[in-house]
């Protein structure tokens, strides 16, 4: 049950204080980066001051090629996440409801899941070269396991009494998934999607850096090889900002999707 107006105000004040502390920490970090090269603690050739990075960022954002690269990165991230989420949920439900399939696939899942996606870079280049499909291969492989494993854990957490009751009432497979398995697994799935969203961005940037696929990662690599250090740091800062926005968006979607669930009920205002 949600608290009264005073509880809502306290939660709002707590979130406001956390945001102010986070902003203060960011300002302190930017001031430190500005001071270190100017005071001679590090070489500006290795770490430019914040003002130089900001100027490079302003110059980058005025270039249409930057926005094209940003679009390429977000396209690879979004498509990969969508494919991985759809495949992970579908495969997880099939494995969960087909008798003995979970036991039959457990060893295969545990063998494939720890393989780093970056180990597939030679295969991706061999199959698809440096286009978007190489990025998607790495992103989907990494994100798929996040969703699949979380869903399997969620289904395993289903109340056996509720499942037996559903069977005794003669609910068919789809009805059991919709009314019993899915509500229990949804919090786990949302956690998996949130983790997969972050992993997808990491792999999209990695593919662009290593393979040379179009995107921000490729621009970072070009800036590094051409010794445009402020531009390199500016582009890295952009990728960090995208990661923060993706994580915040995923958490917001998670809270709204699970407003009925006890784990987040207190976080969502009535």
DSSP string, the chain: ----HHHHHHHHHHHHHHHHHHHHHHHHHHHHHHHHHHTTSS-TTTS--HHHHHHHHHHHHT-HHHHHHHHHHHHHHHHHHHHHHHHHHHHHHHHHHSTTHHHHHHHHHHHHTTS-GGGGHHHHHHHHTTSHHHHHHHHHHHHHHHHHHHHHHHHHTS-HHHHHHHHHTT--HHHHIIIIIHHHHHHHHHHHHHHHHHHHHHHHHHHHHHT--SSHHHHHHHHHHTT-HHHHHHHHHHHHHHHHHHHHHHHHHHHHHTTTSTTTTTTS--
pLDDT of residue 5: 52
The percent of residues above 90 in pLDDT, for the chain, comes to 52
* pTM, rounded to two decimals: 0.84
The percent of residues above 70 in pLDDT, for the chain, comes to 90
pLDDT of residue 184: 86
* Mean pLDDT to the nearest integer, 45-51: 90
Quote the mean pLDDT of the chain. 86
pLDDT of residue 45: 87
pLDDT of residue 166: 74
pLDDT band at 270 (very low <50, low <70, confident <90, very high): very low
pLDDT of residue 264: 57
pLDDT band at 178 (very low <50, low <70, confident <90, very high): confident
pLDDT of residue 268: 47
pLDDT band at 263 (very low <50, low <70, confident <90, very high): low
Task: Say yes or no to pLDDT of 267 above 60.
Answer: no
Task: Say yes or no to pLDDT of 128 above 80.
Answer: yes
Of residues 76 and 259, more confidence is placed in: 76
pLDDT of residue 1: 44
Task: Say yes or no to pLDDT of 130 above 50.
Answer: yes
pLDDT band at 155 (very low <50, low <70, confident <90, very high): confident
Task: Say yes or no to pLDDT of 223 above 80.
Answer: yes
* Mean pLDDT to the nearest integer, 46-73: 93
Task: Say yes or no to pLDDT of 60 above 50.
Answer: yes
Of residues 267 and 193, more confidence is placed in: 193
pLDDT band at 90 (very low <50, low <70, confident <90, very high): very high
């Amino acid at each position: 049950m949600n608290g009264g107006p005073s509880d809502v105000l306290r939660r709002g004040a707590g979130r406001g204080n956390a945001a102010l502390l986070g902003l203060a920490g960011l300002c302190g970090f930017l001031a430190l980066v500005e001071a270190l090269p100017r005071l001679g603690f590090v070489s500006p050739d290795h770490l430019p001051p914040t003002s130089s990075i900001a100027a490079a960022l302003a110059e980058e954002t005025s270039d249409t090629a930057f926005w094209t690269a940003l679009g390429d990165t977000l396209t690879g991230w979004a498509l990969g996440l969508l494919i991985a989420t759809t495949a992970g949920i579908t495969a997880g439900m099939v494995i969960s409801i087909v008798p003995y399939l979970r036991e039959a696939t457990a060893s295969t899942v545990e063998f494939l899941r720890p393989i780093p996606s970056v180990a597939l870079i030679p295969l991706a280049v061999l199959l698809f070269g440096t286009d978007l499909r190489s990025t998607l291969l790495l992103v989907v492989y990494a994100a798929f396991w996040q969703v699949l494993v979380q869903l399997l854990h969620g289904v395993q957490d289903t109340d056996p009494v509720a499942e037996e009751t559903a069977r005794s009432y003669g609910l068919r497979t789809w009805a059991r998934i919709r009314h019993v398995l899915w509500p229990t697994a949804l919090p786990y799935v949302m956690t998996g999607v949130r983790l997969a969203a972050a992993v997808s961005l990491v792999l999209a940037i990695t593919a662009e850096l290593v393979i040379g696929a179009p995107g921000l990662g490729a621009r970072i690599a070009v800036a590094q090889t051409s010794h445009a250090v402020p531009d390199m740091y500016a582009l890295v800062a952009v990728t960090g900002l995208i990661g923060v926005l993706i994580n915040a968006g995923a958490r917001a979607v998670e809270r709204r999707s699970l407003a009925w669930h006890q784990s987040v009920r207190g976080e969502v205002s009535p």
